[in-house]
Amino acid sequence: MLPVVDYRQLVFTIPRRLRKFFLFDRSLYGDLCRAAYASTRDYLRRQAPGGFPRLKKAIPAMIASPQSFGDLLIPHALCHALVSLGVFSPDGIFCRMEDVDFSGLEELFRERFFKIMVRRGKITEDIVEDMKRWPHSGFNVNWDRKVRAEDRKELEGLLCYMERSPVSLRRLTYRADGMVHYQGSQFHPRLGIDHQLLTPIAFLALLIPHVLLRYEVSIRTYGALSTTFRKKVGWIENPPAKEPPPESIAELESPAGAESAPAVTALLPGDPKVRTGVATAAREEEDDEFLRTRRRNWARLIAKVWLEDPSLCRTCGKPMPIVSAITSPGQDDVIERVLRHLQIFDPPWQRERAPRARAPPPPFEFDDAPPPSEPEFIDPPVDDEQYIIDPPDADWTG
């Protein structure tokens, strides 16, 4: 499923002051992953070369796995992510980014996560301003580990680590005195210990917050790994997991000192000299010619169908120049104002519909039945005056 490109592991952590909300609302883990992806996507778009086509819609390939634990069974909300070192265009062309400095991603992630927590009603703007004055923000994005495109075994091992269980049975020991000993793999800097010695009930109490809820998503795919994107570019049937996807690199071909955008060269497997910039420009030129031809034919087609040429003036009969075009449904309000000004606005949904005429029922034919008799009244007719409690002229002001 994963394209053959270079990847970088990103670990997003948040301050301890905000981790307590995750103990009582596990839906925040989804917000944490979305904030991590949106921040990474915007950051990579800024770092991408300026000549990459359709940079505003370029997206990375990213997998995010939220976790509620660290090395020991202590509540620690964080997000492990695997992101491609580059972005993909909407048509599946990959722009490789070799050396990306993710040091500026922390600030972008912090601001976006603050907005989510305020919108969810977990914190207030005053708390946000107070936390921004801290010497150390408590947010951190670790990006030390890099996985090469050809090292698929290391990539698989990293994904297994992201989906690991909160408890490792190899480090769990049941002692003879009834205590539970859980050995950590490294020294905890804040607690000053590398193990936990707990009673069975205390051990279960620490384990319960890490149990996933029913139907809770444990791994999320974003960007070029989403189902929508992979279906659009045909990666569901033919995923680029065995050979690299089509790539593009930005290179300057203009003479020195010339002010021009860098040309984009596509490096397709087997044919590295194919230029996507030229192909894209030719395709856009063909599309423009098709649109111009279609705009010229609209009046002819209407005249052919309705036997009236809309491009001719009703007063002089000469062709009218086209000043602007109004389209629907994007400019329905403009169309309504024009029709109301001309006093010809008569939409069908505002017309009074006459009731449909209904035929009389067919006559009922009796075979041998006797003619109907007079209806019998079950209750005798009663005068309505008997049900009036107070006389009409009673004084109600009383």
DSSP state, residue 177: T
Confidence of residue 395 (pLDDT cuts 50, 70, 90): low
How far apart are alpha carbons 85 and 143 in whole angstroms? 11
- Residue 377 pLDDT greater than 80, yes or no: no
- Residue 277 pLDDT greater than 70, yes or no: no
pLDDT of 276: 42
Residue 228 burial (CB count, 10 A): 6
Mean local confidence (pLDDT), 9-28: 92
Q: What is the pLDDT of residues 57-67, one digit of tens each?
A: 889 999 999 99
- Residue 271 pLDDT greater than 70, yes or no: no
Question: Residue 84's beta-bridge partner residues?
Answer: 7
- Predicted TM-score (pTM) of the model is 0.61
Q: What is the pLDDT of residues 147-201, one digit of tens each?
A: 998 888 999 999 998 988 888 889 999 999 999 999 988 888 778 888 889 999 9
Mean local confidence (pLDDT), 121-126: 93
Degrees (nearest 5) of the Cα angle 169, 170, 173? Answer: 75
pLDDT of 21: 93
Q: What is the pLDDT of residues 226-267, one digit of tens each?
A: 989 989 888 888 888 888 888 765 433 333 333 433 334 444
b/e code 258-281 from CB counts within 10 Å (16+ = b): eeeebbbbbbbeeeeeeebbeebe
pLDDT of 336: 85
Q: Are 50 and 250 in contact (CB under 8 A)?
A: yes
- Residue 313 pLDDT greater than 70, yes or no: yes
Confidence of residue 354 (pLDDT cuts 50, 70, 90): low
- Residue 332 pLDDT greater than 70, yes or no: yes
pLDDT of 389: 53
User: Which has more pLDDT, 123 or 302?
Assistant: 123
pLDDT of 392: 55
Question: Over the Cα atoms of the chain, what is R_g?
Answer: 36
